[in-house]
Structures are given as C-alpha cells and as structure tokens.
Structure 1
C-alpha cells in the first residue's frame, strides 16, 4: 500500500477522533449551554438583573394579523426578543380555563356569547380577531396550552386572573404543567396577594406599590420580598419610590399602556428612555416591539 496514502489515512482518523472527543466532551457542552442560558435567563431580583424587560399587555396588542391572548402572537413576539407575556385567564361554563380578557367573546373572536355561558368545545369552533377587526385562522387557547407553549423557553407569563376564576384551579394547572418557576401571579390588593401566597408560596406575585402607603402595606404583609414584583401603576412616580423598591431587591413594573403609550407614539419614544433612567425594570405596554427597540440602549 502506498505510504503517503497510509499517512493521510492516519492523519484523517486522528482528526476525526479529536473532533468526536471535543464535541462529545460533557464539559465543553455544559460551557456552551451555560453561556446561552445565562444570556437569556430572566431574573426577578434587582441585584442580579442584567437588562430591562418588556411585558406584552394581553400577550401582544395592536399588531395586525396577531390577536391578543393568542399563542401565535406570543411566538411572533418571542422571535423578536419579547420574554414576558401578560395574559388573562377566564373560566368557561364547563370550568375550563381559557385566555380571554373580556367577559364576552365578541370583541376578540367570532363568538358572541359570554365566556361563562359557553362550553370549551364550542369556544374552540370560533376564530380569534385582531385589534383591527380582522378575522384570523387562530383559535382561542386554553391556559394549559399557553403554558405548554412556554415550556423550555426563556419566558415568563404574568397571569391576570379574571373575576370568577378559582385560584386553586389556576395554581393546579400551573403545577401540572411544571411551570411554577415561569409565572408571576397578578394581584391588585394586599388581601388577594396574601391569599395567593398561601395557596402558592413558591410562586412570584405582582403586587401593587403605586405609592408609599401601598409600599408600606406590602412590606408589612408577611409575604417574602423575594416573591414580589412591584407594579407601580400607570402614572409616573417620583424616582424615590423606585429607589425604595430597589433597596428591597424588588423589580419595578410600570404600565405605559393607555395614555403614555399613545403619547410616546405621537411624540417619539424618548418617554421610555426617561422611564428607564427613573428606574423602571419592566415595561407593561401595548407597544411591545417599540419599547423593545428603545430600551437597553444607554
């Protein structure tokens, strides 16, 4: 056999073994995976926060062909970098949990009934409608279907529990999906926050801290501060309130949805930069992509 051929063959085998060893080496793979996960991971502690976030109101609003509270909308926004989705969970006549903001199906789907007057199998016959009145091919998702979409993705759901929905059913569905560490339960009062903390002590809560009185109430509530994310309302606050919240290692959520989003759309997006400088960590907004393109640029 030709000696040069043998040498080339041996060199090729050596190179192949080296490549296989490197690619299969667990230490090398762990290093690569860790770098990917650390860059995408969401932290809800101010001391370890590495960037500011957007929370897409109703899962994404004002996007042509993409309805609110819709899995396809989540996917569209997630591909563009959105990692937090505020969703609304309602209950059907036959006690199934679905994503729906209004009492009635009329505004956001081809259905016309109230949610609590209709069973899930009939709801699944309807199609979602975008914010411009355009019917889509997308269906109304169940809460479980939304949670399943979020698995293995670096995302969080802000879960707004609509009137009449059983807290235990919400928590049970989250536990069944093994998504306890991927949700924030939205609360509007100290009493509601305490109740949800008793039912789900390991889950994060969005709690109201719109002023110093509410801040002090939450600090005296007995709820661990490491389970709190502070919703500071939809009106601009003095930076000193944000500073107090940050001193407790709690993140600040501020709602630009409504008038502030409209003002920013009319006058440019400088408002979002100003709020970021004030100390807003999470923007709850109807203009998710506009805010996403504006923040974290300083």
Structure 2
C-alpha cells in the first residue's frame, strides 16, 4: 500500500514547515511528513526549507547567520490569509509532538549548499534521545552526508534525493546502504518502480500534486508519494 507523505506538512493549505502544517497533515491522514532542516548560528536544528528566511518569513538573511532567538521572532505564516503568527519550529519541538502520534518523518538535510558542520551528529543524537530511530528517513541531495549518517547510525534509514534520472537507481541506492530513493516523479516510470521495489528498495517520489499522476504511481505499486495535497492523495488511494 502506497504511503502518503505531506510535503513540508500540509503545505497546499498551511504555511510550509510549521507546526500547524504538520498537525493538519496528520488530521488529513497522511502516513508521514517531509521536513527540511538547517542550523542556526548558535547550533539549533530548525525546520525551514531555504538557506535564507526571506521567502517563507517576514525577515531576511541566512539561517546560519541568525541566532535561534532572532529566528523565533519571525513570522513563518505571514503569507497566508489567517493572521496567526507561526514560528519556525525546532526539530525537538516536532519530536515532542510526534510522541503523541505514529507519523513517520522524512528529514531532508539541507546541507548541499551550506555544509553545516556537525548537523548529522546533532540530529542523530536527538533522534536517539526520543527513540525515533525507526520513524525517521534521512534524505538529501548531499549523498556524502547520507553515507556519513549511515556510518554513525546504520539503524536510521537513508534515501538519496535524485533530481535527474540515473541508470538503475536501485543498484546505486544499495551501493550507499540506502533502503530507498526519492526521485523527481518526472524522471520515473513503471519499470524503475517495479525493479526497485522487487529489489527491496523503496521509491518515494516528490512532489506529486496531480491526481492523475498520483493514481498512475499508486497503480505501479510505488512505496510512497510526497505531496502538498494529502487529502486528495488519501481520496485517490481509498478509491483504488
């Protein structure tokens, strides 16, 4: 059965990567959430997609140049109609909430542009602290970081992000000890899905918002889709 991961939470209807987007994703019956992490100037692991705060908040500047306190003062919900202030959450804040549910969390490490010294270690320590080793999937476009994470914590699943199509991705995933890979859905076909899944390599495609595409991928037996629209995805899965 295909799993539904809410991309940055229920980001079609709520501010991306905020606690309300995660809470609403769970209400929408998503099996998991996909989040992005960066690190503040004072070493706090925070949930935000871009290296800069400009697009998603009312502030400006690089995450790595702002302290956690400065970041916390920003409003990550200002582009949405409702007036609630939404803070940029910390990873610990998310984990506190996850203690009350069984949601899976796909953590994308955003360290392909800025290396964030020690981010993997900090994140892994936190996961172990909460006992979430089996509820986390690490993904990244920085495959060196994934290999590094696997070496420190082989018990946590890793899955490389792939923007381009690569030849026999299941063989590549296996070579770096990953249990899956997360491709751009446009670079995917039924043959790749079937070959990967039959070799015990999970395929979780991003970012699938078109209902026709969702249906086609689900019919091919894809492990998961990562979508901004968890409600639509759940309706289609139920029909199938």
TM-score range, shorter chain: 0.7 to 0.9
Q: State how far apart, in whole Å, the 2-side matches of 1:158 and 1:140 are.
A: 17
Higher helix share: 1
Q: CA deviation at 1:255?
A: 1.6
Judge conservation of contact 1:53–1:281 (CA < 8 Å) in 2: yes
Distance 1:198 1:241, change over 3 A: same
Quote the RMSD (CA, aligned, Å). 2.2
Indicate yes or no: 2:194 matched with 1:246: no
Partner residue in 2 for 1:271: 213
Aligned length in residues: 233
Judge conservation of contact 2:203–2:224 (CA < 8 Å) in 1: yes
Give the structure with higher Rg (CA): 1
Indicate yes or no: 2:146 matched with 1:204: no
Q: CA deviation at 1:113?
A: 2.7
Distance 1:286 1:101, change over 3 A: same
Judge conservation of contact 1:68–1:131 (CA < 8 Å) in 2: no
Judge conservation of contact 2:109–2:139 (CA < 8 Å) in 1: yes
Instruction: Tell me the TM-score normalized by structure 1.
Output: 0.71
Indicate yes or no: 2:194 matched with 1:237: no
Runs of 4+ residues over 6 Å off in structure 1: none
Judge conservation of contact 2:39–2:45 (CA < 8 Å) in 1: yes
Q: Choose the corresponding residue for 2:76, options 101, 108, 128.
A: 128
Instruction: Tell me the TM-score normalized by structure 2.
Output: 0.87
Gaps of 5+ in 2: none
Judge conservation of contact 1:61–1:131 (CA < 8 Å) in 2: no
Q: Choose the corresponding residue for 1:188, options 141, 152, 156.
A: 141
Aligned pairs (5 A) from 1:98-247: 98-129=46-77, 132=80, 135-163=83-111, 164-165=115-116, 166-188=119-141, 190-208=143-161, 210-221=165-176, 223=177, 228-247=179-198
- Aligned-partner SS, 1:62: coil
Higher strand share: 2
Aligned pairs (5 A) from 1:85-96: 85-96=33-44
Distance 1:130 1:84, change over 3 A: farther
Larger relative contact order (CA 8 Å, sep ≥ 6): 2
- Aligned-partner SS, 1:231: strand
Distance 1:199 1:133, change over 3 A: farther
Of 124-133 and 193-202, the range deviating more from structure 2 = 124-133
CA deviations over 1:26-83 (Å, ceiling 9, x no partner): xxxxxxxxxxxxxxxxxxxxxxxxx2221111223121xx211111221112112112
